A and B are shown apart, each in its own frame.
Chain A
Amino acid sequence: MLFLRILRALIPPTFDRRETWRNLYKVGVQSYAIVAVTGFFAGAIMVIQTGDFVGRTGATGLLGWGAGFAVLAEIGPVLIGLMFSGRVGANNTAELGTMAVTEQIDALRALAIEPIRHLVVPRFMAMMVMLGLLTCIGDLFALFGGALVSQWILKVHWRVFYYGLIESHLLHEFLVGILKAACFGLSISVVSCYFGLRVTGGASGVGRAVNQSVVASAIGIWVVDLFLTWATYL
């Protein structure tokens, strides 16, 4: 329902540009550090896990392929999406929820400002764009982390890791990963705004709404992931 109303509000694209820029900035700056660190560890963990299989067969050239594929197509976007939903989605619900509890949203309505257009649409745009871009950064850090771990823990030279990565032609997977991330951003923004706008009942209401919002966002991420994985291989 809210999703349709957002789309309807988008049709004459007269949303508040300054508010959108402010949101883009806030979303990006809030979460780039956490995305970078998450990406770093995700890459490192995937290399260790692949390393176990590679170590048994001795095919170190496959290390870049295995870890790179897992990170770019699947683990990178999903982990970054989950962290993003915790950081930005939850924050968003808390913010909108506080506005709802303190009747600021009713005040906006009284001033004939449509809350969907003023509050939700900029966030929607910002999260979709930013999660896609942040996933690029996260992927970069993941590959960096993977190279470091393959050098230090697996004792596989980082060049072997990168050659394996480059030779396996993962551009398609990378693009699918970015597409997934943008769709996660979309679902996170709709879910978190929905739960934020319908908060009732003071401080504990806000807490409960944030809880429900992150749970629903996580389920949303998995379901979107399932559909996109299925759709991109058709």
Chain B
Amino acid sequence: MNGKDSSEPMFIERLGAPLGDLVRTLREIFVLLGRTVRTVASERADRREVVRQLFDIGVESLLFIGVTLGVLGVISLYQGCTQLERVLPDFSRAGATYLATLVREFGPVICGLMVATRTGSAIAAQVGSMVVTEQVDALRMCNTDPVRYLVVPRFLAGGPMLLMLTIIGVCISFLGGMLTARIGWEVPYSTYVNLTMVHSHDVVMGVLKSLSFGYAIPIIAAHAGLSAHGGSEGVGAATTRSVVNCSFAVIVLDFVISSSVYLVVN
């Protein structure tokens, strides 16, 4: 930095470039969030479009969520019971423990990741291909705000739908685990279904997580889509960016919510 070593600022520049990108992307995402919230507060959203997005996000992901969460339940109980066998062969709390972690952690997070993958990439692909084919500019020319027309319905649909998908996913996953425990370790259903370990703060945490993921994913995906440029290559890049940013946001939000709830409760 003192002029003698000319490679030093370049090195720092290279080190700082991803950080600068991160800060810029975050700022743009928050600006988009602000504009979306302002639009939601000031104008009525197009109800038909919201319903269509509810359908798109919710119903279309249902099968996907069902398969992945069901498999998660089978795997978790399998792993958990084989481990329990080594330490203490007492499976009476397996179901209760699994349900608690599912409600608090795995249900919202895995659903969030799956929706980030499916819906996040779909939104970015739709919005991105509208951007590169100049349909968004056409919207602007017709005096239609692209945020109001494209982002707001997806934003409004995301939160409630992810919450519902999480509830369904938790049920399916719990059922998958129940079958595994019954077939593999002969745990009776009545022992497995045990709600005593789920506290109210677990439920609050799960709902909080899935709602925040649900509202974050459409905004981040729409941001990636709106910043697409170039032809088909640009759409591909935007979709990739969307999946990565959305999954990453889910993991970071999960960490933030988990640790703050832990600190508040204890």
Which positions in A face B, CB cutoff 8 Å?
33-34, 37-38, 41-42, 44-45, 48-49, 51-53, 55, 69, 73-74, 79, 82-83, 85-87, 90-91, 93-95, 97-98, 101-102, 149, 153-154, 202-208, 210-211, 214-215, 218-219, 222-223, 225-226, 229-230, 233
Provide the residues of chain A in CB contact with B109, threshold 8 Å: 45
B114 interface residue per 8 A CB criterion: yes
CA distance A135 to B172 in the complex (A): 29
A65 CB to closest chain B CB (Å) equals 9
Determine if A86 and B244 form an interchain contact, defined as CB atoms under 8 angstroms apart: yes
The answer to whether residues A207 and B247 also contact, given A45-B254, A226-B75 and a CB cut-off of 8 A, is no
Q: Mark B81-122, 1 if CB is under 8 A from A, else 0.
A: 011000000000000010001001100010001100110011
Residue of B at shortest CB range from A196? B236
Determine if B71 and A207 form an interchain contact, defined as CB atoms under 8 angstroms apart: no
Determine if A211 and B239 form an interchain contact, defined as CB atoms under 8 angstroms apart: yes
B231 interface residue per 8 A CB criterion: yes
B74 interface residue per 8 A CB criterion: yes
Chain B positions 123-142 with a Cβ under 8 Å from a chain A Cβ: 124-126, 128-129, 132-133
Determine if A219 and B64 form an interchain contact, defined as CB atoms under 8 angstroms apart: yes
A208 CB to closest chain B CB (Å) equals 6
A54 CB to closest chain B CB (Å) equals 12
B79 interface residue per 8 A CB criterion: yes
The answer to whether residues A55 and B266 also contact, given A98-B236, A207-B236 and a CB cut-off of 8 A, is yes
Categorize the interface residue count of chain B.
35 or more
CA distance A51 to B104 in the complex (A): 13
Determine if B79 and A74 form an interchain contact, defined as CB atoms under 8 angstroms apart: yes
Provide the residues of chain B in CB contact with A230, threshold 8 Å: 78
CA distance A95 to B247 in the complex (A): 21
B259 interface residue per 8 A CB criterion: yes
Q: Mark B56-92, 1 if CB is under 8 A from A, else 0.
A: 0000000010011001101110110011000000000
Q: Which of B233, B262, B266 contacts A94 (CB 8 A)?
A: B233
Determine if B255 and A207 form an interchain contact, defined as CB atoms under 8 angstroms apart: no
Provide the residues of chain A in CB contact with B252, threshold 8 Å: 41
CA distance A53 to B239 in the complex (A): 39
Determine if B251 and A79 form an interchain contact, defined as CB atoms under 8 angstroms apart: yes
B232 interface residue per 8 A CB criterion: yes
Provide the residues of chain A in CB contact with B64, threshold 8 Å: 215, 218-219
Determine if A210 and B125 form an interchain contact, defined as CB atoms under 8 angstroms apart: yes
Q: Mark B132-166, 1 if CB is under 8 A from A, else 0.
A: 11000000000000000000000000000000000
Determine if B255 and A229 form an interchain contact, defined as CB atoms under 8 angstroms apart: no
Provide the residues of chain B in CB contact with A95, threshold 8 Å: 236
Q: List 9 other contacts, CB 8 Å, given A206-B235, A215-B64.
A: A45-B254, A82-B113, A87-B240, A93-B236, A210-B236, A211-B121, A218-B118, A219-B68, A229-B78
Determine if B243 and A33 form an interchain contact, defined as CB atoms under 8 angstroms apart: no
CA distance A207 to B117 in the complex (A): 13
Residue of A at shortest CB range from B261? A48
Determine if A203 and B117 form an interchain contact, defined as CB atoms under 8 angstroms apart: no
Chain B positions 25-80 with a Cβ under 8 Å from a chain A Cβ: 64, 67-68, 71-72, 74-76, 78-79
Determine if B97 and A53 form an interchain contact, defined as CB atoms under 8 angstroms apart: yes
B170 CB to closest chain A CB (Å) equals 15
B248 interface residue per 8 A CB criterion: yes
